[in-house]
Amino acid sequence: MMLDEEIRYIDFHSHRAEGEEHALIIKNLFAGEEVPVSVSPGIYYSAGIHPWYLTVENAAELMEALKNTLKHPHIIAVGEAGFDPLRGPSRKIQYDVFIYQAKLAEEFDKPVVIHAVRAWDVLRMAKKEVNPSVKWIIHGFRGKAKLASDLVSENFMISLGVEGMSPVVIEAAGMKNILLETDDSGRSISSVYSHFTEICGIGPDEVIIRLRENFISCFAGKD
């Protein structure tokens, strides 16, 4: 995926309504949700079936809707998809629908934006079953450094908001495995970058270059 030279900030996962100057923003859509007819420059989308809004009754309809949604050229990632034992349907339904989404990601050659709450074992089981060729990115990571280190060793990437940032997590994950996001925080992505720069002790221009490279690596070979 080619990036315009004016893009300085990449917001990997956002629920914000507005864009931001010099930023590429991936806004989150739910399966079947309409992609706006008029899309501002720098705005792209992910689409998925979030476990919170999944039920036994709507699963088949949402899976079919997602397949149609992913055909849109401005949908560049699949998700949020994932697991949450605290909210949503049974583990089996969440697992089956996640596997379906992961296989669609393979079919459409798009990375997966993952929502995972206390579900690392089932996520690893799913990854073993799918054996993905596309990147799987844990969005809104707020875990400890050991978990970050374990996940990146298993070829996951993590996406951090301000709440998940700490020097030990950043060091454990390694810069090449990190993306940044605003999620539903109400922050600007430029302010998230500034906070990240302060924590990791790397100059702002280098942070921009390295996170840009990380983003491009998620879309290697994609137009």
Mean pLDDT throughout 193-201?
96
Q: Is residue 24 part of a domain?
A: yes
pLDDT tens digits along 107-155: 999 999 999 999 999 999 999 999 999 999 999 999 999 999 999 999 9
Total count of domains within the chain: 1
Asked whether the predicted pLDDT for residue 157 surpasses 80, the reply is: yes
Question: How confident is the prediction for the chain on average, in pLDDT?
Answer: 94
Strands 23-30 and 43-48: parallel
pLDDT band of residue 222 (cuts 50, 70, 90) is: low
Residue among 110, 103, 129, 115 nearest 51 (CA): 115
Please give the residue range of the domain that contains residue 210: 16-218
pTM for this one? Answer: 0.94
Q: Is residue 11 part of a domain?
A: no
pLDDT tens digits along 49-100: 999 999 999 999 999 999 999 999 999 999 999 999 999 999 999 999 999 9
CA dihedral sign, ordered 84, 129, 106, 110: positive
Q: Is residue 1 part of a domain?
A: no
- CATH number at 116 reads 3.20.20.140
Asked whether the predicted pLDDT for residue 221 surpasses 60, the reply is: no
Q: Is residue 112 part of a domain?
A: yes
